[in-house]
Amino acid sequence: MKKVRVGTIWLDGCSGCHMSFLDMDERLVELSQYMDVVYSPYVDAKEIPSDIDLFIVEGALSTDHDIKIIKEIRKNSKLILALGDCAVTGNISAMKNLFGTEAVLEKGYFDLADINKGEYPSEVVPTLLDKVIPLNEAIDVDYFVPGCPTPADAIYEVIKAIIENREIKISDYTRFGK
Ligand code: SF4
């Protein structure tokens, strides 16, 4: 049986959903019989490969760089799974939308700055979008798996179901905010 090629990435997230992935513990050994993780913070890959079967994405989209990356991921992946409430709805990452980009920059680089007050970064760091958005506002998403973080049991069950090409009722394993 050909192994499923899997990528994972965290964009505007806290990495908590990736920690939950690791919390699958010994089940990772079982899954490794059926899948190869070819791009991820867990592995040392610099370029996104062109032939991914399943890409698991944590985090919302909040910069021009996030948009560029997620479009590249969509182009190179058969299936995309939005992992966690930030990827599915924006969640905590989208709280910035209540105040707006200018107010957030002012708070971080003026009000709270000890040095270089008011010098907003314009080079090297990506430009913030006017609004933080969930994945499906930029690309088509195949699977939505909520949770904050998504429990390891839910990640395991949904990956197994995808590998075995069967349907799963994800609400049996996780829900928003769980
Ligand atoms: S859904 Fe929760 S745990 Fe996952 S990246 Fe967002 S804030 Fe972190």
Question: Is residue 138 assigned to a domain?
Answer: yes
Evaluate: CB of 163 within 6 angstroms of ligand 1. no
Q: Supply the residue whose CA is at minimum distance from atom 5 of ligand 1.
A: 13
Neighbours of 131 (CB within 10 A): 14
Evaluate: CB of 62 within 6 angstroms of ligand 1. no
Q: How far is the CA of 92 from the centre of ligand 1 (A)?
A: 7
99 residue type, one letter: F
In the predicted structure, residue 51 carries a pLDDT above the cut 80: yes
Tens-place pLDDT, residues 144-160: 999 999 999 999 999 99
Q: How far is the CA of 28 from the centre of ligand 1 (A)?
A: 21
Question: Is residue 104 assigned to a domain?
Answer: no
Evaluate: CB of 92 within 6 angstroms of ligand 1. yes
The neighbouring-strand residues paired with 35 are 4
Question: Is residue 21 assigned to a domain?
Answer: yes
Question: Is residue 111 assigned to a domain?
Answer: no
Q: How far is the CA of 124 from the centre of ligand 1 (A)?
A: 25
Say how many domains are in the chain: 1
Q: How far is the CA of 11 from the centre of ligand 1 (A)?
A: 10
Q: Supply the residue whose CA is at minimum distance from atom 2 of ligand 1.
A: 148
CATH of the domain at 34: 3.40.50.700
Question: Is residue 73 assigned to a domain?
Answer: yes
Evaluate: CB of 84 within 6 angstroms of ligand 1. yes
pTM: 0.94
pLDDT top residue among 170 and 121: 170
Helix (H, G, I), strand (E, B) or coil at 135: helix
Task: Print burial letters for 68-99: b (CB count within 10 Å at least 16), e (below 16).
Answer: ebbeebbebbeebbbbbbbbbbbbbbbebbee
Tens-place pLDDT, residues 89-102: 999 999 999 999 99
- Mutational test site, ligand 1, from 92, 93, 145, max ligand atoms within 8 Å of CB: 92
Domain span at 78 = 4-95+130-172
Evaluate: CB of 13 within 6 angstroms of ligand 1. yes
Question: Is residue 68 assigned to a domain?
Answer: yes
pLDDT of residue 124: 85
Question: Is residue 178 assigned to a domain?
Answer: no
Structure tokens at 35: 């899948």
pLDDT of residue 6: 98
Question: Is residue 22 assigned to a domain?
Answer: yes
